[in-house]
Amino acid sequence: MTLSPSRFLVALVALLVAGPALAQSPVGTWRTVDDATGEPKSLVRIFEEGGVLVGEIQQLLPAGRRCEGCAGRFNNADLRGVRILTGFRQSGNEWTGGRITDPKTGRVYRAKMRIERDGRLRVWGFVGADTPLTRRNQYWERVR
Protein backbone atom coordinates (compact mmCIF):
# COMPACT_ATOMS: atom_id res chain seq x y z
CA MET A 1 0.00 0.00 0.00
CA THR A 2 1.38 3.37 -1.04
CA LEU A 3 0.54 6.61 0.75
CA SER A 4 -0.17 9.66 -1.34
CA PRO A 5 2.06 12.65 -0.56
CA SER A 6 -0.82 14.43 1.22
CA ARG A 7 -1.64 11.38 3.39
CA PHE A 8 2.04 10.93 4.16
CA LEU A 9 2.28 14.57 5.26
CA VAL A 10 -0.81 14.20 7.49
CA ALA A 11 0.63 11.02 9.07
CA LEU A 12 4.00 12.71 9.63
CA VAL A 13 2.41 15.75 11.27
CA ALA A 14 0.30 13.47 13.50
CA LEU A 15 3.43 11.62 14.64
CA LEU A 16 5.30 14.85 15.31
CA VAL A 17 2.41 16.23 17.36
CA ALA A 18 1.67 12.99 19.25
CA GLY A 19 5.32 12.08 19.86
CA PRO A 20 6.08 14.72 22.51
CA ALA A 21 2.78 14.06 24.25
CA LEU A 22 3.50 10.33 24.43
CA ALA A 23 7.03 10.99 25.71
CA GLN A 24 5.66 13.15 28.52
CA SER A 25 4.14 10.35 30.57
CA PRO A 26 5.02 10.41 34.28
CA VAL A 27 5.26 6.62 34.27
CA GLY A 28 8.71 5.73 35.60
CA THR A 29 10.86 6.28 38.67
CA TRP A 30 11.26 9.73 40.21
CA ARG A 31 13.51 11.19 42.91
CA THR A 32 11.38 13.24 45.28
CA VAL A 33 12.96 16.44 46.53
CA ASP A 34 12.06 18.19 49.78
CA ASP A 35 10.46 21.51 48.84
CA ALA A 36 11.93 23.22 51.94
CA THR A 37 15.52 21.89 51.96
CA GLY A 38 16.08 20.80 48.35
CA GLU A 39 17.40 17.46 49.62
CA PRO A 40 16.42 14.16 47.94
CA LYS A 41 13.87 12.26 50.06
CA SER A 42 12.85 9.10 48.22
CA LEU A 43 12.47 7.23 44.96
CA VAL A 44 8.86 6.80 43.83
CA ARG A 45 7.79 4.51 41.01
CA ILE A 46 4.72 5.70 39.08
CA PHE A 47 2.82 3.12 37.05
CA GLU A 48 -0.58 2.48 35.53
CA GLU A 49 -3.02 0.23 37.34
CA GLY A 50 -6.66 -0.20 36.37
CA GLY A 51 -6.59 2.75 33.97
CA VAL A 52 -5.19 5.25 36.51
CA LEU A 53 -1.69 6.23 37.59
CA VAL A 54 -0.49 5.28 41.06
CA GLY A 55 2.86 5.62 42.80
CA GLU A 56 4.74 3.65 45.43
CA ILE A 57 7.84 4.46 47.44
CA GLN A 58 10.74 2.31 46.27
CA GLN A 59 13.40 3.65 48.63
CA LEU A 60 13.89 6.35 51.22
CA LEU A 61 16.99 8.49 50.84
CA PRO A 62 19.63 8.31 52.04
CA ALA A 63 19.55 4.55 51.47
CA GLY A 64 18.41 2.45 54.39
CA ARG A 65 16.72 5.28 56.26
CA ARG A 66 13.45 4.58 58.04
CA CYS A 67 10.65 7.13 58.37
CA GLU A 68 11.67 8.56 61.73
CA GLY A 69 9.24 11.06 63.22
CA CYS A 70 6.50 10.24 60.74
CA ALA A 71 2.85 10.05 61.73
CA GLY A 72 0.96 7.00 62.96
CA ARG A 73 1.51 3.80 61.01
CA PHE A 74 4.39 5.40 59.09
CA ASN A 75 6.51 6.16 62.18
CA ASN A 76 9.85 4.31 62.13
CA ALA A 77 8.53 2.18 59.28
CA ASP A 78 10.23 0.86 56.19
CA LEU A 79 8.08 2.58 53.55
CA ARG A 80 9.21 0.53 50.56
CA GLY A 81 6.09 -0.43 48.62
CA VAL A 82 3.80 2.07 50.38
CA ARG A 83 1.42 3.65 47.88
CA ILE A 84 1.46 7.44 48.21
CA LEU A 85 -0.12 8.38 44.86
CA THR A 86 -3.54 7.10 43.74
CA GLY A 87 -6.21 7.79 41.13
CA PHE A 88 -4.52 10.11 38.60
CA ARG A 89 -6.11 10.38 35.15
CA GLN A 90 -4.74 12.35 32.22
CA SER A 91 -6.51 15.60 31.43
CA GLY A 92 -4.67 17.46 28.68
CA ASN A 93 -1.08 17.97 29.82
CA GLU A 94 -1.90 17.28 33.50
CA TRP A 95 -2.87 14.25 35.54
CA THR A 96 -5.75 15.15 37.83
CA GLY A 97 -8.24 13.62 40.25
CA GLY A 98 -5.51 11.98 42.30
CA ARG A 99 -4.61 11.81 45.96
CA ILE A 100 -1.20 12.10 47.62
CA THR A 101 -0.31 10.88 51.10
CA ASP A 102 2.31 12.71 53.16
CA PRO A 103 3.90 10.04 55.41
CA LYS A 104 5.41 12.75 57.60
CA THR A 105 1.94 13.93 58.70
CA GLY A 106 -0.24 11.00 57.62
CA ARG A 107 -2.52 13.42 55.78
CA VAL A 108 -4.04 12.71 52.38
CA TYR A 109 -4.48 15.60 49.93
CA ARG A 110 -6.18 16.05 46.58
CA ALA A 111 -3.43 16.26 43.98
CA LYS A 112 -2.41 16.96 40.41
CA MET A 113 0.82 16.48 38.49
CA ARG A 114 2.39 17.76 35.28
CA ILE A 115 5.72 17.36 33.54
CA GLU A 116 7.34 20.76 33.24
CA ARG A 117 9.36 21.98 30.23
CA ASP A 118 12.62 21.20 32.09
CA GLY A 119 11.55 17.54 32.47
CA ARG A 120 10.83 17.67 36.20
CA LEU A 121 7.52 16.37 37.48
CA ARG A 122 5.56 19.02 39.32
CA VAL A 123 3.37 17.36 41.96
CA TRP A 124 1.04 19.46 44.00
CA GLY A 125 -1.37 18.66 46.77
CA PHE A 126 -4.13 20.94 47.94
CA VAL A 127 -7.05 21.26 50.34
CA GLY A 128 -10.38 22.38 48.91
CA ALA A 129 -10.01 24.35 45.69
CA ASP A 130 -6.68 24.30 43.86
CA THR A 131 -5.42 27.83 44.48
CA PRO A 132 -1.94 29.18 45.27
CA LEU A 133 -3.06 29.65 48.89
CA THR A 134 -4.16 26.01 49.33
CA ARG A 135 -1.39 24.38 47.27
CA ARG A 136 1.97 22.81 48.14
CA ASN A 137 4.30 22.13 45.20
CA GLN A 138 7.14 19.67 44.86
CA TYR A 139 9.36 19.13 41.83
CA TRP A 140 10.57 15.56 41.28
CA GLU A 141 13.46 14.49 39.05
CA ARG A 142 13.20 11.53 36.67
CA VAL A 143 15.58 8.69 37.46
CA ARG A 144 14.35 6.24 34.79
Asked if the model's pLDDT at residue 10 lies above 80, the reply is no
Asked if the model's pLDDT at residue 144 lies above 70, the reply is yes
The stretch 70-93 carries a mean pLDDT of 94
* Model pLDDT, residue 108: 94
CATH architecture assignment, domain 26-142: Beta Barrel (2.40)
Asked if the model's pLDDT at residue 21 lies above 70, the reply is no
* Model pLDDT, residue 11: 45
The stretch 22-33 carries a mean pLDDT of 87
Asked if the model's pLDDT at residue 132 lies above 90, the reply is no
Highest mean pLDDT, choosing among 23-27, 72-76, 139-143: 139-143
pLDDT in tens, 97-129: 999 999 989 999 999 999 999 999 999 999 887
pLDDT in tens, 43-72: 999 999 999 999 999 999 987 778 888 899
Nearest to 46 by CA among 57, 38, 54: 54
Contacts of 76 (CB under 8 A, 6+ apart): 66, 67, 68, 70
Asked if the model's pLDDT at residue 15 lies above 70, the reply is no
**Rounded to the nearest 5 degrees, what angle is found at the Cα of 104, between the Cα atoms of 127 and 53?**
60
